[in-house]
Chains A and B, each alone.
Chain A
């Protein structure tokens, strides 16, 4: 297993959708950098808006991370898909962390919103993007669901804030009395997304049924 991971790291690195990831990361940096040149007000909410827009841009890039044009060609190899998917995520995670650090540092410190809370939002948004890709892989036969997933993610990100009841608001401003409560919800959302993502990493759903279903069908345990 360890040998397989070591040997897999370089080819998996090369299968990552670098152009999309780089474009989304660059857009995020530009959005965050706009504040440094454009200025921000004392309340800091334009900074927060731009930070959230930067996170959304990068999250849209991450919806393509699990696209695998060779999905069908490599459908029946003994190395489990969870390992390959996990490796993809593991390779991108430190780069995303570096990117986020750069984004936060681009925002002038006097208008920078609470970094810990905003980082929590960013982490949840990124994990939700990965989760959307993983769900698409698990429930469809599509090797490259990225474009559809990105569109659905963008639509959800735009529509959801308007649909959530007042007591469930996620996107609040630092001066809002619900700021801490909202970030508790972000924390729960992140935890739920991580757990669901891990549950979605194994083989696509119909493939998983072979063991359970067949065991009940054959007296020999086939």
Chain B
């Protein structure tokens, strides 16, 4: 399958810190999750791929377009939707006015068609009824959906979402998952998140990032499988465990190298993620 995004050797430094260190990846249609600790370089990678920030080195293409040239960058931007980590709005705009403004910036100049598209997207993100209300009067979840609608304008082939569910309550997060799943049908979505449940439920593929490098690239099932035989239950916290915590039942759930005869548990994606980060720390 031809990749939507193909990147090789991306690097970027902030002072002495490698925000991106020789990152190579290929993204295909579907939702790809990007997880990693704070400071791993997730946002930097997303901003580079969204053409919001140039890399110091390396190259990439989006939908066959080369953002290194001015014309290529314009083409990439026409085919791109980007929801930043902290989306900002003109607070006196209504959702309709704001998404319409972004639509104009995305060069949708036929007013009638544009307005129909804006209305359709606002309905899609469940904001149809508040489309005339000022953004400053909307809840955080609603504002995130305004930003998602703005990212979806122009039917982008590549959608970059930077922690879209942060700060949302569980119900809003579930709703957002539905929207992201819909958005991922037939297009390539790169979703940065701290929520491993989001990855487990939404993504066909997951990238784990730490220290500016991709530490894992595979399916969620493969990441989970990394923890097979390495999660166990005990009555006390096992001092040999990489991580361990008391669960609601009173027993301890331990992740690491289990002792002989340990009561093994079914691993989760989060267990695989924790072990991958641990291995990344050891190798660093």
C-alpha gap A171/B61 in the complex (Å): 54
How far in angstroms is the closest Cβ of chain B from A102? 27
Set B60, B84, B86, B107: member contacting A222, Cβ < 8 A = B60
B232: Cβ under 8 A from any A Cβ? no
B55 within 8 A of A: yes
- List B67-88 residues whose CB lies under 8 Å from chain A: 67-70, 73-74, 77-78, 80, 82-84, 86-88
Give the CA-CA distance A220 to B109 in the complex, in Å: 34
Q: Of A71, A143, A213, which is in contact with the most chain B CB atoms at under 10 Å from its CB?
A: A213
With A70-B98, A210-B67 as contacts: A75 and B52 at CB distance below 8 Å: yes
The residue that B87 contacts in the complex, of A72, A78, A215, A222, with Cβ under 8 A, is A72
Indicate if A43 sits at the interface (CB-CB under 8 A).
no
The answer to whether A210 touches B51 (Cβ under 8 A) is yes
Residue of B nearest to A75 (CB): B52
- Name the B residues within 8 Å of A69 (CB-CB): 88-91
B58 touches A73 (CB 8 A): no
Return the chain B residue nearest A78 by Cβ.
B77
A78→B106 contact, CB < 8 A? yes
Quick one: which of A11, A68, A78, A84 has the most chain B CB within 10 A?
A: A78
Expressed in whole angstroms, the Cα–Cα distance for A14 and B50 within the complex equals 27
A77 sits at the interface (CB 8 A): yes
Whether B68 contacts A70 by the Cβ 8 Å rule is no
The reply to whether A72 and B102 contact each other, CB–CB distance below 8 Å, is: no
Q: Does B214 contact A (CB under 8 A)?
A: no
B92 CB to closest chain A CB (Å) equals 7
List the A side residues contacting B282 at CB < 8 Å. none
Chain B, Cβ-Cβ closest to A2? B109
Tell me which residues across on chain A come within 8 A of B55, comparing CB atoms: 210, 213-214
Interface residue B97 (Cβ < 8 Å from any Cβ of A): yes
- Check B102–A73 contact: CB distance below 8 A: yes
B54, A207: Cβ atoms under 8 Å?
yes
**Distance between B236 CB and nearest chain A CB, rounded to angstroms:** 48
- Annotate A48-83 by CB proximity to B: 1 below 8 A, 0 otherwise: 000000000000000000001111111111110000
In which size bucket is the chain B interface?
A: 35 or more
Asked whether, in the complex, the Cβ of A70 is within 8 Å of the Cβ of B89, the reply is yes
Closest A residue to B102 using CB positions: A74
B263 is an interface residue with CB less than 8 A from chain A: no
| CB-defined contacts of A110 to chain B, threshold 8 Å | none
Whether B73 contacts A211 by the Cβ 8 Å rule is: yes
User: Provided the pairs A4-B104, A7-B109 are in contact, do residues A75 and B89 lie with their beta carbons within 8 angstroms?
Assistant: no
The answer to whether A73 touches B92, judged by C-beta atoms less than 8 angstroms apart, is no
* CB <8 Å contact, B105 and A77: yes
In the complex, B53 has a CB within 8 A of chain A: yes
Give B102-138 interface residues, CB cut-off 8 Å to A: 102, 104-107, 109, 111
Which residue in chain A gives the minimum CB-CB distance to B88?
A: A69
Contact B86 A72 (CB under 8 A): yes
Question: How far apart are the CA atoms of A132 and B50 in the complex, in Å?
Answer: 28
Decide if A162 is an interface residue (CB 8 Å cutoff).
no
CA distance A221 to B66 in the complex (A): 9
For the complex formed, measure the closest distance between the CB of A136 and the CB atoms of chain B, giving whole angstroms: 16
Given known A14-B93, A207-B52, A222-B66, contact A79–B104 (CB-CB < 8 A) = yes
Which of B's residues lie within 8 Å of A, judged by CB?
50-61, 66-70, 73-74, 77-78, 80, 82-84, 86-93, 97-98, 100-102, 104-107, 109, 111, 147, 150
Given contacts A73-B102, A207-B51, A214-B58, 16 further A-B contacts (CB under 8 A): A7-B109, A69-B88, A70-B90, A70-B98, A72-B52, A73-B88, A74-B105, A76-B50, A77-B102, A79-B106, A208-B54, A210-B55, A217-B59, A221-B69, A222-B60, A222-B61
Jot down 18 A-B pairs with beta carbons below 8 A, ordered by A: A15-B101, A69-B90, A69-B91, A72-B88, A73-B83, A73-B87, A73-B88, A76-B52, A77-B105, A78-B78, A78-B106, A78-B107, A206-B53, A208-B54, A213-B54, A214-B58, A222-B59, A222-B68
Sorted from nearest, which 6 A-B pairs have the closest CB atoms? A210-B54, A222-B59, A214-B68, A77-B105, A3-B109, A78-B77
